Amino acid sequence: EAQVTQNPRYLITVTGKKLTVTCSQNMNHEYMSWYRQDPGLGLRQIYYSMNVEVTDKGDVPEGYKVSRKEKRNFPLILESPSPNQTSLYFCASRAGGGDTQYFGPGTRLTVL
């Protein structure tokens, strides 16, 4: 089954404790992105990747890191989480620029 998976689905952590949210897709898609969703703000892009070892900043990259060492995986790293990073995070992938984007199930992160 073609899908995008994320783990964990829910995470409660404390300020400053490094964490990683994993994302994996099995569709051999070139493009992957991370979004955060906050009430009233829609989906805002954090980082995106066009291929292995090619990543770039989206609209809200501060406080986040990503890596793309393998085509299927695109982890999101919060080196020192802060309460303003409490949000719902979605990973997404698509084959090309004008192709359907598929979202993962989401990760609800709470930073205390």
Partner 1 sequence: GENVEQHPSTLSVQEGDSAVIKCTYSDSASNYFPWYKQELGKRPQLIIDIRSNVGEKKDQRIAVTLNKTAKHFSLHITETQPEDSAVYFCAAAGNTGFQKLVFGTGTRLLVSP
Contacts with partner 1 by CB under 8 A lie at 31, 33, 35, 40-45, 48, 50, 58, 90, 96-98, 100-106
> CA 39 to CA 16: how far, in whole Å?
24
Q: How far is the CB of 13 from partner 1 (least distance, A)?
A: 21
Nearer to partner 1, 48 or 74 (CB): 48
Q: How far is the CB of 106 from partner 1 (least distance, A)?
A: 6
On the CB side of 51, how many CA atoms lie within 13 Å of its CA?
A: 2
Q: How far is the CB of 109 from partner 1 (least distance, A)?
A: 15
Nearer to partner 1, 2 or 14 (CB): 2
List the beta strands (DSSP E) in 14-99: 19-25, 31-38, 42-51, 54-57, 65-66, 76-78, 87-94
Q: How far is the CB of 76 from partner 1 (least distance, A)?
A: 16
The helix/strand/coil state of 98 is: coil
β-bridge mates for residue 13, sequence order = 111
Nearer to partner 1, 17 or 57 (CB): 57
